[in-house]
Amino acid sequence: MANKKVLFAELSLVGVTVIWGLGFPITKIAVNMGYGATTIMAARFVIASILLSIVYYKKLKNIDKQILKFGIITGVFLFLGFYFQTLGNVYTTPSKNGFITQLNIVFVPFLYFLFFRKKVDMYNIISVVIAVIGMFLLSFNRGEFTGINIGDFYTFICAIMVAFHVVTASYYQKKYNFDPALFVIVNIYTSMVISVVLMFFFDTIPEITVSNLWPLLILGVFNTALGFLVQSYALKISLPTRISLIVALEGVFAAIGSVLIIGEILTIEIVVGGFLIISGILITELKPFQNKELKKL
């Protein structure tokens, strides 16, 4: 029975990872419709907040000052990660946006070392070197290399912010044994409030009609609310390493979705660069299994 639950959780996460990947070209469609970055953010987090509040309404009364305090801290990092990812999508292609976002996984061990003095080994160093080379190739223009595309740079900042969110969220949840559902909800609420405030200051909201509302609904319902529900469920049942490996496929699905949905043309640089980033992630995440096998021998 336990194995069936793990299998169901991991297959559900695979489905959500496909949805997350498709979210990159869908975000690009929303941008092309005239929505600004903070408007897209506000819409997806308002929708997600409403849906998650409905699902967990019985638990909301258990939110205390401690979970509110640390949930807000990690929620700020969550907002920054999503904001720079969305802003990056305005200026770069969805496939590059998806691949570069995945750099957060190779950055996490270095943040653990910075804050908690957890040892960084040779695998971590090799993985980040390979992944950064991959990012360089993604930004490379065969005609003339004039520097990193501003959209790629924003997405790079996104990867760093997501890594900060992962590290702080993991630390606080383990230290204080927070309810994962409530902790995620506070994160979502925080991102929603910041997004709504910034939307009124920085964005000009286009006329909303039935025909241009669907990208926001998809991003809010499936990519945010459903995504966080399934991820929190999977993290509770499966191993974090296996979860990371599944989520690492997000960039691949972003590239496939970009080709199928908006007709993006994948250059050899994007394919090779994306492959190197995924390779860096695999080196980081498969290392524990390699170490276990070495201990057995």
Radius of gyration of the chain (CA): 19
Whether this model's pTM surpasses 0.85: yes
pLDDT (mean) for 12-40? 92
Rounded Cα–Cα distance for residues 225 and 51 (Å): 7
Task: Kindly state the tokens that stand for 105.
Answer: 């996984």
Rounded Cα–Cα distance for residues 263 and 71 (Å): 39
Q: How far is CA 116 from CA 97, 171, 250, in A?
A: 30, 10, 28
Per-residue confidence (pLDDT) for residue 120, from 0 to 100: 76
Q: 123 vs 44, which has greater pLDDT? A: 44
pLDDT (mean) for 110-135? 81
Task: Kindly state the tokens that stand for 201.
Answer: 């200051």
Q: What is the pLDDT of residues 48-96, one digit of tens each?
A: 999 999 999 999 999 999 999 999 999 999 999 999 999 999 999 999 9
Q: What is the pLDDT of residues 165-221, one digit of tens each?
A: 888 888 888 788 888 889 999 999 999 999 999 998 888 777 777 778 999 999 999
Per-residue confidence (pLDDT) for residue 285, from 0 to 100: 73
Rounded Cα–Cα distance for residues 53 and 78 (Å): 18
What percent of the residues of the chain are helix, what percent strand, and what percent coil, each to the nearest 5? 85, 0, 15
Contact 248, 281 (CB under 8 A): yes
